[in-house]
Structure 1
Amino acid sequence: MGDIPNGYEMRKPSLRQLEAFKAFVETGSVSRAADVLFISQPAASKLLNHFEADIGMELIDRSSNRPVVTERGMRVYEEIDRILSGVDQIGQAIASIRAEERSQITVGVVPGFPANLLSKAAQIVRRERPDISLSFVVRSSEFLSHGVLSRKLDLALIARELDHAQVRSSIFYDRPMVLITPPDHPFAQRKMVSMSDLQDQPFIAFTPGSVTRRLTDAAMTEAGVNADIVLSATTAPNCCAMTAAGLGVCVLSPLFASDHLARLAVVSFTPQLPFHVRAVRPVESRDKRGLELVLRALEKARDGLPGTA
């Protein structure tokens, strides 16, 4: 389709078109996008075609048997994801207004946060305060920080500092990072692995810009080590899955490996690379007692996780 021609006036895309494109990107095919939207495949194709026509931009490369998203398409997707997340929050707010007798507490966590921890914490809250409606939002630390400051989130567990007069902050998790390997890897039998051991070792890294990647890159540079980065992944579950598949070893916080220990070996790592998760919440909250209960439940669930002590 190419660039917008001269004199072209872009038509406003519909919400359904945005939903269709988002579903296509996240599922990888038109047919699965149609399933997500509960419509037929031709209807989904029509929405995608009209979306591209309305904005005058090629978002999907159809030159091969399997259509793929273009680079421009990914940039558009990121904006759509942000916008529709706001729509979801409106829906949550409306649901909260309809059930004013319930206390709504929204907790933000970073991607890869242990699902087992969250579910156990939710069970504890449910037993002690069944009137609390608890919801979890998964986003980056920066996004969650803004959510706390704007009071859209009641609590956030983030991997960064947030020094602000309107925010209370405490350490939620403070353990150095560890090395994870497949169970049959030679490193799995050792008590300690050093940075020098990673020289030329197939290594699975987090994507550039993440906290973990910055810490490991700095440590490798200081030690003069060149690991063989064979794969990069955005989230801890992906890194754990690739490691378990025997594609390489990975350095990460033991907290984020806790849901995957059945398939992995965890080995102490030197030099120690500190990784902090902080609990941040507004100084003034709508339900202070409920919020403190939620935080205590999260801490109790954290203390019960295997491999994180």
Structure 2
Amino acid sequence: MKYSLRQLEIFLATAHHENLTLAAKELAMSQSAASEALKTLEQQFDIQLFDRAGKSLKLNELGRQLRSKAEALIDQARTLEHDFRLHSDIGDLKVGASLSIGNYLAVSIVAQFMRENPLAKVSLEVENMTAIAQKVRNYSLDIGLIEGETNDPELQTIFWRKDELVTFCNADHPLAKKAKLSEQDLIEASWILREKGSGTRQTFDWAMRGILPELTIAIELQHTEAIKRAVEANLGIGCLSKITLNDAFKRGNLVPLAIPSRNFERNLYFILHKEKYRSAGIEKWLALCQSAEYVNQ
């Protein structure tokens, strides 16, 4: 074999950072050693993986084609290393979740996963859908759980479960007394919404097609709890996933609003890189999420 796993690690770290200094720092080695290893890899096969302009490195087309295969090979090697070292087929699992899922569903799944697999080490990152998709694409995350749809050709999308958005207001808001909202009510209301790029906003914008340009969007916020607090303060009405609102509805400080003319149903999905090696940890995570406990809650 004319290449080493270390050379592939250096290639992948450089592709991620597009900077040899940062790649070497990540791998705890000198920049000169990293540069020499990358140079040797390219010379061994008479190829060029990066376009070079001074100190800047940009992954070229050949590098992009080989990157996913190298990532898959390194993933398998790391899984084998964990099997040898820990006598476990799980190892580390890096999960990403968009905000509603991450704050209201994923933590309990992580807890259950670790109870069932005590030798596993699970990390959870919670960001909006766009950020999670980017990190899965760059192999920074093993798997993502998202609230919207992505058409990224590098990612595989797998249906997980149904969900729906609910429009809501303060219990003292004038609209709280209406049995259902009309199109004019929607246009005249002040809306407090998630930011663009989130799965929740994607679903809302689709549901409101036809009148979206006429809506008054007073505030855009990244965090679900901030939106609920703003609605409680009577700054406007909101629209969030039902899973984020159940407790508030039970307390009675927020109330749902019926909009029969609009469809707020949506799907939740898993996303993985198409070239990602399906480790035992990933397979067990998928199986746990798809169990009745987490599909029907």
Q: Same fold (TM over 0.5)?
A: yes
Distance 1:298 1:304 in 2: 10
How does 1:120-269 map onto structure 2 within 5 Å?
Answer: 120-158=108-146, 159-164=148-153, 167-188=155-176, 192-213=180-201, 216-217=204-205, 220=208, 222-223=210-211, 226-258=214-246, 260-261=248-249, 262=251, 263-269=253-259
Distance 1:100 1:111 in 2: 34
Distance 1:196 1:260 in 2: 26
Distance 1:289 1:200 in 2: 52
Residue deviations 1:91-120 (CA, integer Å, cap 9, x gap) = xx9xx98x9526111111123435242222
What is the CA distance between 1:221 and its match in structure 2? 6.2
1:295 maps onto 2:251 in alignment: no
Contact 2:163–2:268 under 8 Å retained in 1: no
Distance 1:176 1:116 in 2: 14
Secondary structure at the aligned position of 2:106 is classed as helix
Secondary structure at the aligned position of 1:131 is classed as coil
Distance 2:102 2:172 in 1: 24
Contact 2:128–2:199 under 8 Å retained in 1: no
Provide structure 2 residue ranges, at least 5 long, that are not aligned to the other structure.
Answer: 1-77
Q: Which amino acid aligns with 1:266?
A: P
Provide structure 1 residue ranges, at least 5 long, that are not aligned to the other structure.
Answer: 1-92
Distance 1:247 1:292 in 2: 44
Q: Which amino acid aligns with 2:115?
A: R
What is the CA distance between 1:152 and its match in structure 2? 2.3
1:271 maps onto 2:262 in alignment: yes
Secondary structure at the aligned position of 2:125 is classed as strand
Count of matched residue positions in the alignment of Structure 1 and Structure 2: 209
Residue deviations 1:213-250 (CA, integer Å, cap 9, x gap) = 45545655613784443322122222122112322111
Distance 2:85 2:246 in 1: 36
How does 1:33-48 map onto structure 2 within 5 Å?
Answer: none
Cα 1:117–1:258 shift into 2, 3 Å = farther
Q: Which amino acid aligns with 2:232?
A: A
TM-score w.r.t. structure 1 length? 0.55
Q: Which amino acid aligns with 2:262?
A: P
Identity %: 20
- Which residue pairs with 2:272 in the alignment? 281
Distance 2:163 2:101 in 1: 15
Distance 1:294 1:259 in 2: 27
Distance 2:221 2:116 in 1: 38
Aligned-residue Cα RMSD (Å) equals 3.5
